[in-house]
Structure 1
C-alpha cells in the first residue's frame, strides 16, 4: 500500500491558476520566444474554455489526457484545462520517435489525445485524437479550435456538459500528472503524482515562503514541458507570480541574450547547457550581472565546470540530484563551497528529505560503504501507472530506490555527511539530462544489415556529460557500416539523443569469464579514442 504524504493543503494547477488570475490579473505569466504573451487572467479563461471543450469529448474527473505538443502556450492551457476537470495529464515528449510516442499513449490509455498535427505519426487509428496548432501572434491559444468547436456544437443542438466556472477542490490523493520515465530497465513507465505531491514539491522548493503569493521574477524553461521539472513545479511558479519565458530551441547565445535582457537572477539548467553557455562569445559581450545563482541538475557537473561557472557568472552554483520518481526533489550542494570537496559530491538531502545507502536486501550500510541510494520525500510519486510489480521494486515503505550507487561520507564536527555518486545500477548513462539505456539502442542497431554484433557504452563528454559509443563487429562479406549509416538506421525508431555519437570497430566483442560480453572492458575502450574509431565519413 502506498501512503500519500503531503506538506500542507493539497494544491492543483487549476486552483492555483484561478487564484493567480485574481491576484495578478493581466500580468504576463508566460512569454513565448516570439514575444507573444499570455497573462494570468487570460490563461485561466482559456483553460476554462478548453476544459469545456474537453468535457464535450468525454473527459471527466480521473480520466487521462495525453498531450503530444511542443513546449508552448497550447500545452500550458491544456494542462490547466485538464486540471480544471480533475483529469490527469500525461505529457509525451515530442522529440521521441513516432513508435515511442505511440507506445506511451498506449501505456496510459487516455480518453483524449491532444496532438500537434505534425506529431500524429504512429498513433493508432482508434484513438480519440484532437489536433491543435500553435497560435499566431495576437491570437489567444486554442482560439481557432474553440471557434470551430463552438460553431459545430451550437449548430448540432446537442446538450453539452454543465457550465464550468472554477476548479474542483484539490484532494491529496487525486492524481494530477503522469510523468514518463524509463526507470532502470529501459521499459516505459509513467510516474503518478497526486495533488498532495504537488503541494509537497512547492513546500520543499520554496521553504518558509511556500504559502505566500508573489515575489517571483523572470525565468526561462530549460526542459521539455513533459519533464518532471515543469509538470510538478508549475503550480508554485504560478503562486510566486513568476514570468516564464519559453525557448523555441535551446541555443546558448539566445538564452544568454534572454537572461541579460530580462535581468534574470536564477539560471536553471543541466551541466551540458552550462558548458555551452561558457563557450559562447556572449558570455563576455553581455551584462549578466543580475545572475546570482545557477541551479544545475539532470547530469553530473564536473568540478572544473563548477569553478569556471562561479567565476565567470560571479554567482553561486548548486548541484541538484533527484529523479523523476522523487518529483524532482532530492539532494543539493551549497551554492558556494562550505567545506573542501563539496563540489565533488551531490551534497546532502534538502530540508524535509531523507537519504540512505542500502545493500541489496534493503539494509543500511556503514558510512564509506558502497550501496544503492534511497530517498524518502513527500514529493515522491505514488507509484507507476498500472505497474504494481515495478512500483513494488521502486518504492519500499515510503522510500524511493533510485538505482544509483553512492557512498555516504562520515559526518564530522567540521563537515556534515555528504553523498558521492559512484555509478549506476545497470548500464544506463545520461546524455544532456536524458537517460539512455544501451540495451534499447543495441536492439535497434543490431538490425542494421552490416552489423554482426553491437554494444553501446558511454564516454565522458565535456558538453553533454556522457555520449554513446557504438562498438561494432561488422558482418563478414559486407561493407563495414559507418556511424552516419547507424544513426540513419536508428533515428526512425528511437529518439536522436539516444543514438551513438562515435563508433569503434572490433573483430569480436570481448567476453568475460562467464562467457558474457565484458562491458567493463568495452567502457574502457570506448573512453579511449584510437585509430579504430570511425567518424561516419
Structure 2
C-alpha cells in the first residue's frame, strides 16, 4: 500500500517539495519514489527481504522516510526506534524487533548488534543524491509487489506497564484506514507543516501514506524547540501549528510570541495527551486560529477528534467524537458497555486498529475485549453530545510532555541507588508538561540523595523524560490494607504540596 502510494504521489506531485531538511535542501515527491526504488535494491542486496524487519535508529531525517518507503517496496517491515530513548532502552526495542538489518546514525548505533542483524551506518545527506548513497543502486528499481492489504508494513513500539517494549504491528489495511479517516480518498490539499515529534511515533509511521496523498510539504527540525518552531512557522508560512500540549504551552511562553507573524496558521492541533481548557483557550486566542483535539493510542491507529468548525468547548472540555470508521465504547470492569454519562474504560474498534503485538500473543489477547475492541487503558465517559471526556488513566502510567512514563520502570532503576531504601514515583500536575514525576524516597541511614544525584544516576539507563523532576524525603511510604504502596495518597499529597 505504501509502495503504491509513493509511486502515484510521484506522478501527481512531481517536483513539489515533500520534505525540507534542516539545512534547507528539499526532497521532492519524485525524489522519494526514485531514491526509495534505488535504496530497495540496495537493501535487498544487504539481505533484506519480504517479512524481514528493518530497524531505523536515527533522528527524523530524510533518510528515515526514504528507507521506510524502500522497505515497503520489498515487503519488509519497518521498526522505528525513538531517538530520545537511552541506549539501554533502544537495545531493548531492538531485541524485541529482531531485525535483519539496522540502519543507524553514528550516535544512535547500538553498542552491540542485535542477534542475527547487520548494522549499517547512515551519514545524513547534504542533498537528494547523498541520501543513503552508500546503499542505493543507482538507476535500479525492485520488482513490483502484488497487492496484499494484510502484509505487515510497520511495527510501532510502545511500552507496557512495566516499561517492557511492545511493538504494535500495522499492515497495509490499517494504513489505508488511517489515510481514509484523515483525508478521504482524494489527492492533494496538503499544507505546510513542521515535523515536531520523532518519526518513530505512531503519528508518522501510520500516517505517511495519507501525508503523501495530501501532497504537502513537511519541514524537519533537529530537536524541537519552541522559539525555533515559531521562527519556522513565520519564515515558511506553515499552515498548522501545535503538537503535544506541552509544545503548545512552551510556544506560548516564548518571549515576544505576539510579535511573530503567525497569520498563515489555519489550525492549532493538540494530540498526544490531554490539554487543559485554559491552554486551549489561550492557544486559540493568541494564534488567532481554531483549535483541534486528537485522541488515540499507539495500538488504535486512529481514534476521536474535534473539527475546526466545532464549538470551542469541544476541544476545551473533550477529545471529541469518533472519527470515520471508529466505534467507541466505555466499559465496566467486566467489559460490558456502559451508557452515556457513566465512567469506565475507553475502548475503540476500527479497521485501523493494530493487527496485534509483535511476537506477543499473550499481550495481544489481553489488550482486546472478547468482541474485538481495543482496551486503551484510559478512563472516561461519553457526554450528552456524544463527546468523550477523559477522567484519567488506568493503572499508574502518566504522560509527561506527550511521552508515556511508567513509574515501576523508573523505580526499578532508582531503587538501585545506594542511598535509597524505598521509592515510589507518582505524577504531579504541571502547567507546561501536563504531568511530571515526583520521587518519594525513604532514605537509608546517612546522607540522603538529592534530586540531581538521582537524576544523574537514572540518566545512565532512562530517557530524560522519564526522570523525576521533584523529590520528597519521607520516613515511610503509606500502604493500603493489602500492604501495597498507596500511590493515590502519594499523588494527592504531591499535588497538595505543589499548590501550597
Q: What range is the shorter-chain TM-score in?
A: over 0.9
The answer on 1:30 being equivalent to 2:19 is: yes
**Other structure's SS at 1:247 match:** coil
**Other structure's SS at 1:236 match:** helix
The answer on 1:463 being equivalent to 2:432 is: yes
Match of 1:95 among 84, 95, 99: 84
Match of 2:415 among 420, 438, 446: 446
The answer on 1:66 being equivalent to 2:55 is: yes
State the alpha-carbon separation in 2 of the partners of residues 457 and 400 from structure 1.
Answer: 26
CA RMSD for the aligned pairs?
Answer: 2.0
The answer on 1:422 being equivalent to 2:396 is: no
The answer to whether the 8 A contact 2:43-2:135 is kept is no
Instruction: Give 1:255's aligned residue.
Output: 229
State the alpha-carbon separation in 2 of the partners of residues 125 and 294 from structure 1.
Answer: 41
The answer to whether the 8 A contact 1:172-1:194 is kept is yes
State the alpha-carbon separation in 2 of the partners of residues 172 and 23 from structure 1.
Answer: 23
State the alpha-carbon separation in 2 of the partners of residues 45 and 363 from structure 1.
Answer: 51
Distance 1:72 1:401, change over 3 A: same
1:469 positional shift: 0.6
The answer to whether the 8 A contact 1:213-1:240 is kept is yes
State the alpha-carbon separation in 2 of the partners of residues 163 and 288 from structure 1.
Answer: 43
The answer on 1:388 being equivalent to 2:364 is: no
The answer to whether the 8 A contact 1:288-1:313 is kept is yes
State the alpha-carbon separation in 2 of the partners of residues 483 and 362 from structure 1.
Answer: 41
Instruction: Give 1:55's aligned residue.
Output: 44
The answer to whether the 8 A contact 1:30-1:244 is kept is yes
Instruction: Give 2:318's aligned residue.
Output: 345
Greater Rg by CA: 1
The answer to whether the 8 A contact 2:98-2:114 is kept is no
The answer on 1:487 being equivalent to 2:460 is: no
1:481 positional shift: 0.4
1:119 positional shift: 1.7
Instruction: Give 1:201's aligned residue.
Output: 178
Structure 1's consecutive aligned runs of 4 or more residues displaced over 6 angstroms after TM superposition are: none
Uncovered stretches (5+) of structure 1, i.e. residues with no partner: 1-10, 151-161
Instruction: Give 1:308's aligned residue.
Output: 282
Instruction: Give 2:308's aligned residue.
Output: 335
Aligned length: 498
State the alpha-carbon separation in 2 of the partners of residues 304 and 98 from structure 1.
Answer: 37
Taking the TM superposition and a 5 Å limit, the aligned residue runs for 1:121-270 are 121-124=110-113, 126=115, 127-137=117-127, 139-143=129-133, 145-146=134-135, 164-165=141-142, 167-206=144-183, 210-270=184-244
**Other structure's SS at 1:528 match:** helix
Give CA-to-partner distance per residue, 1:440-493, whole Å, 9 cap, x none.
0000000001111110000111111111010011111x2110111111111111
The answer to whether the 8 A contact 1:356-1:374 is kept is yes
Give CA-to-partner distance per residue, 1:72-130, whole Å, 9 cap, x none.
01111111110110100000112111111111111121111111122224334753111
Uncovered stretches (5+) of structure 2, i.e. residues with no partner: none
State the alpha-carbon separation in 2 of the partners of residues 340 and 234 from structure 1.
Answer: 30
The answer to whether the 8 A contact 1:355-1:373 is kept is yes
**Other structure's SS at 1:319 match:** strand
Match of 1:511 among 451, 469, 479: 479
Distance 1:268 1:352, change over 3 A: farther
Distance 1:268 1:194, change over 3 A: farther
Give CA-to-partner distance per residue, 1:486-533, whole Å, 9 cap, x none.
1111111111110101111101111222222111111012223379x9
The answer to whether the 8 A contact 2:199-2:205 is kept is yes
State the alpha-carbon separation in 1 of the partners of residues 71 and 90 from structure 2.
Answer: 20
The answer to whether the 8 A contact 2:40-2:142 is kept is no
The answer to whether the 8 A contact 1:184-1:403 is kept is no
1:318 positional shift: 1.4
The answer on 1:502 being equivalent to 2:470 is: yes
- The TM-score, its normalising length taken from structure 1, stands at 0.89
**Other structure's SS at 2:496 match:** coil
Instruction: Give 1:523's aligned residue.
Output: 491
